[in-house]
Structure 1
Amino acid sequence: MIHKQTKKKSYDLALSLQKAELAYSLPPRFYTSNTLAKQEIELFFRKSWIGVGRSDSLPDPGNYMTLDVANQQIILLRDSTSKLRAFANTCRHRNARIIDGHGTCKGLRCPFHSWFYDLEGKLISAPNMTSAVGFKKDNNGLISYLAEERFGFIFVSLSKDTPSIDKHLGNFANFHKPWSLEKLVTVRRREIIVDCNWKMFLEVFNEYYHLPFVHPNSVNSIYKKPEPADEVTGNFATQFGLTVGTGGLLEGSQDHALPDIPGLDDEAKMGARYTWLFPNITFAANKDAMWCYEAYPMGPNRCQVYQTACFPLHSTKLKDFKKKSFQYFDRLDKALDEDIPALMNQQRGMSCSDALPGRFQPELESNVASFAFWYAGKW
């Protein structure tokens, strides 16, 4: 049954709970409402696994980085056994922020009153607290969160009741094994602030429909019509498509291509797999490289984005890697420079008081339709 669009149904998430060939996009209000943006943070960023980067950003014990995303303040670090840990970036004494940036440490010391925690989050010293009746250091360790690593990605959950990461990912491994994602090396990571909703940003990197109109002279001719969306059991959407050359480079820069990722099968060498790990991380696995984006809300019409470019280790050791890698970065940056004005314009259109959900192009927007189905089912 195809719904007749009316103003009454303009906020009806049920319109998205259908197969792509019947489904409507998410109601515009979910891209513009301050109230819903706050509810999203609770529902999707505090009660679900979120992707927060690549494992090789913290290679050694004592390595740490801080994250300030979606109203969360998080410390990620490797403990003394190389286990990944996630803590709230707030002291258990009087809640001062503990640390900023990234680096290497032997422990975490609060700059306000010098409470010191080891790499496992245990409180080791608290000066002059002996007169505090009943005070025990064992009861005052850092607030900890769930942290896991799979396929070279870091995942964090702020809720202890979240299902296991393996249940969250389902049959993800079945579709991504050829690329050996966990072996790819991060070469560049950059932060961008974009004036559009976080969902909107991730959507544009998961659909082919806009390519001839937004990227007519940069990457459009590289991509052929994609294969049908894959049937998955986890919280993700994925779609493979053939390419002319590599999707990692611009149309005019294909002669700068790096060697293929070792171990790829014949099909994987002929295209790219675009995957959206719900809610907030997406990536493209090409035959020679992978790029990924994390997106975090900064209100309804702005988002914080991290772009990461990864390559196989053997490519990074080539004499001309630096020169060739610049061509890959140039592709990422130019395509993004074309996407951002389109996204900002879409955000303006979403704010129209009479805006309504629209129909998907099933073959070219299948990942976006899958996300809309998943998202609508969580409310």
Structure 2
Amino acid sequence: MTRHDTTLTPLEELRQNVGVPFERALAMPKSVYTSPEFAAQEMQHIFAKDWLCAGRADALPNPGDYLTMQISGEPIIVLRDRDGQLRAMSNVCRHRMSTLLEGRGNTRSIVCPYHAWTYNLDGTLRGAPAMALNENFCRDQIALPKVRCQEWLGWIMVTLNPDAPDPREKLAEVEALVGKLHMENYTEAFREEFRWTTNWKVLAENFMESYHLPVCHAGTIGGTVDLMKMTCPEGLPAFNYHYILKNDSLALALAHPTNTRLEGDERRTTWLISIYPSLMITLTPGYFWYLCLTPDGPGHVNVLFGGGLAPEFVADPQAQESFAQLKVLLDEVNIEDKGCVEKVYRGLCSGMSSPGPLSHLERPNFDFARYIAGMIPD
């Protein structure tokens, strides 16, 4: 049996791939990116089981503010209720099963666009027209199914899994690693969505390694990176990370002069944190940006892209112009990444392509592959 025996299933190929020491590891096998069957297994065993991110909690500041998302094919509403608490619930009417809300917005109640069944912000049914003659109808017994929702360090975390460990427990090591930056106090300045023609894991892996920066981002940030000064520690079960020490070329990437919590290199460290399966955070002492990934079959990924500023820079009127310039740069970097990850997916679909050995700078990719292999059962 060879390492790329075509009689193996994608999961068997993947487990064989991660069953060697990292120093001998190859990139993930092509089948785990291109197989529709494997994509369905990921939806069932990863996206329906683990915690997913719906964005930042400060994107829903007021009662009635809501956003919608899909988790493993399930339409979900996330909203701020009248008591100021975050809630998540099914976005499907309990009558004839129309979806209810779309996009983002603010609402006093949830009204079905099909027959005007109306729900309170806690999901209970408020009213339903012309139902008095149905003997089985009992308004008090009808409500939108609840979905677990937690705020964690300013992030909205949602899961369909009633048994998933609390994110505060599962991600305690993240807080231990970057807690001094107080990510929960950063303020979102933009939130956008787009769809790219690549597998979600290609984009996740692209974020996880900075090996590609000098070439893929030669027109933007590539010249600011010294690969030999980059540190890629072994990942943890729920996430991986690496970090870069930044120079003084971008003031927003450094701690604000009024920030007295951070000292020494802490004031110039950029953290790249990949929380499994699909929340990717770039966190600096001055700003952050993030990606939340939702697979759309093997060959497409829906991306939530957002970012903002640390509180010291929010309070600094001069920082707004600098952040606007930074946003232009981030958009340019996104364009470069889109080109790279879509090329990778086209290559994965080629008959003559095969995975090659990993650099020491791609340690996070190997840890990510181990996570995926461990989440999908036989």
Structure-2-length-normalised TM-score:
0.90
List aligned pairs for 1:26-175, cutoff 5 A: 26-68=28-70, 71-175=73-177
Helix, strand or coil: the match of 2:208?
A: coil
| Partners of 2:47 and 2:71 within 8 A in 1 | no
**Inter-CA distance 222–122: structure 2 relative to 1 (3 Å threshold):** same
- The whole-number CA distance in structure 1 between the counterparts of 2:54 and 2:241 is 19
Displacement of 1:256 in angstroms is: 7.4
Displacement of 1:69 in angstroms is: 6.0
Q: Is residue 236 of structure 1 aligned with residue 242 of structure 2?
A: no
Q: Is residue 368 of structure 1 aligned with residue 365 of structure 2?
A: yes
* Two-structure CA RMSD over aligned residues (Å): 2.3
| Partners of 1:242 and 1:270 within 8 A in 2 | yes
The one-letter amino acid of 2:242's match is Q
**Deviations along 1:55-78, whole A, 9 cap, x unmatched?**
111112211112246533111101
Q: Is residue 195 of structure 1 aligned with residue 197 of structure 2?
A: yes
Q: Percent identity?
A: 27
Helix, strand or coil: the match of 1:73?
A: strand
- Tell me which moved more, 347-356 or 40-49: 347-356
Displacement of 1:114 in angstroms is: 2.0
**Inter-CA distance 18–237: structure 2 relative to 1 (3 Å threshold):** farther
| Partners of 1:295 and 1:306 within 8 A in 2 | yes
- The whole-number CA distance in structure 1 between the counterparts of 2:352 and 2:9 is 9
- The whole-number CA distance in structure 2 between the counterparts of 1:256 and 1:142 is 43
Q: 2:356 aligns with which of 336, 355, 358?
A: 358
Helix, strand or coil: the match of 1:65?
A: strand
Helix, strand or coil: the match of 1:90?
A: coil
Structure 1 residue aligned with 2:274? 276
Structure 1 residue aligned with 2:321? 323
- Tell me which moved more, 130-139 or 116-125: 130-139
List aligned pairs for 1:208-227, cutoff 5 A: 208-224=210-226, 225-227=229-231
| Partners of 2:232 and 2:364 within 8 A in 1 | no
- The whole-number CA distance in structure 2 between the counterparts of 1:175 and 1:128 is 57
| Partners of 2:49 and 2:160 within 8 A in 1 | yes
| Partners of 1:122 and 1:141 within 8 A in 2 | yes
- Tell me which moved more, 141-150 or 99-108: 99-108
- The whole-number CA distance in structure 2 between the counterparts of 1:374 and 1:255 is 36
**Inter-CA distance 164–69: structure 2 relative to 1 (3 Å threshold):** closer
- The whole-number CA distance in structure 1 between the counterparts of 2:70 and 2:300 is 15
Helix, strand or coil: the match of 1:106?
A: coil
**Deviations along 1:95-137, whole A, 9 cap, x unmatched?**
1121222222222121222222111111122233233234322
Q: 2:262 aligns with which of 246, 261, 264?
A: 264
| Partners of 2:253 and 2:287 within 8 A in 1 | no
Displacement of 1:166 in angstroms is: 2.7
Which runs of 5 or more structure 2 residues have no equivalent in the other structure? Answer: none
- The whole-number CA distance in structure 1 between the counterparts of 2:138 and 2:248 is 62
Structure 2 residue aligned with 1:23? 25
Displacement of 1:231 in angstroms is: 5.3
**Inter-CA distance 63–173: structure 2 relative to 1 (3 Å threshold):** same
| Partners of 1:147 and 1:156 within 8 A in 2 | yes
Displacement of 1:205 in angstroms is: 1.3
- Tell me which moved more, 93-102 or 67-76: 67-76
- The whole-number CA distance in structure 1 between the counterparts of 2:210 and 2:134 is 62
**Inter-CA distance 204–76: structure 2 relative to 1 (3 Å threshold):** same
Equivalenced residues, count: 368
**Inter-CA distance 27–130: structure 2 relative to 1 (3 Å threshold):** same
- The whole-number CA distance in structure 2 between the counterparts of 1:214 and 1:47 is 34
Displacement of 1:29 in angstroms is: 0.9
Helix, strand or coil: the match of 1:229?
A: coil
| Partners of 2:48 and 2:72 within 8 A in 1 | no
Structure-1-length-normalised TM-score:
0.90
